Amino acid sequence: MGERVSIAKAARLLGVGRHELCERLCRAGVENFEGAVELDDVKRISPKLAMDERLVGERVRLIRLSARRRQAVAPPRKKEAELQDEMDRLHNQWLAERKRAQEYHLLFDHLIDELGHWQNSQDLDRAKFALEFSKWLCEQFD
């Protein structure tokens, strides 16, 4: 018998909602006992995740540690000016990240165009490299 984790913790490990995980477990015929499920069963229904044993154990440990440290009292409420300052800071940060993402998007478009030219090259080595690199790129998005 393997390690049992709660369905909520298993859902957090997989990065899916608890309800979605319950449906997937039900469709796979995996039974749970008192809201807990075998970790091996969870990994079996999620083969694409390629979950590393050490990583899963570490994530379970961190989830358990963070659950113990939750405060029973609500944090003090921030004032309206503090919230506005925080929103402005986050908005500016978002704008900077959006600009960076647009620049990466343009760079990637140029890379794809250049690969297309290389694939049509008379140099067979260059064309072969471009085809292999394109194939690798496509596999990364699947």
The ranges assigned to domains in the chain are 4-68, 80-141
What pLDDT does residue 96 have? Answer: 93
CA dist 10 → 1, 35, 111 (Å): 17, 11, 39
Condensed to tens digits (0 to 9), the pLDDT of residues 63-87 reads 777 766 655 666 778 888 889 999 9
Classify residue 46 by its DSSP letter. -
Give the pair of three-digit tokens for residue 80. 């309206």
What pLDDT does residue 28 have? Answer: 74
Low-confidence residues of the chain, pLDDT below 50? 48-50
pTM, rounded to two decimals = 0.40
Give the pair of three-digit tokens for residue 113. 């165009």
What pLDDT does residue 49 have? Answer: 46
Q: How many CA atoms lie within 13 A of 7 on its CB side?
A: 17
SS (HEC) of 50-72: CCCHHHHHHHHHHHHHHHHCCCC
What pLDDT does residue 39 have? Answer: 74
Classify residue 33 by its DSSP letter. B
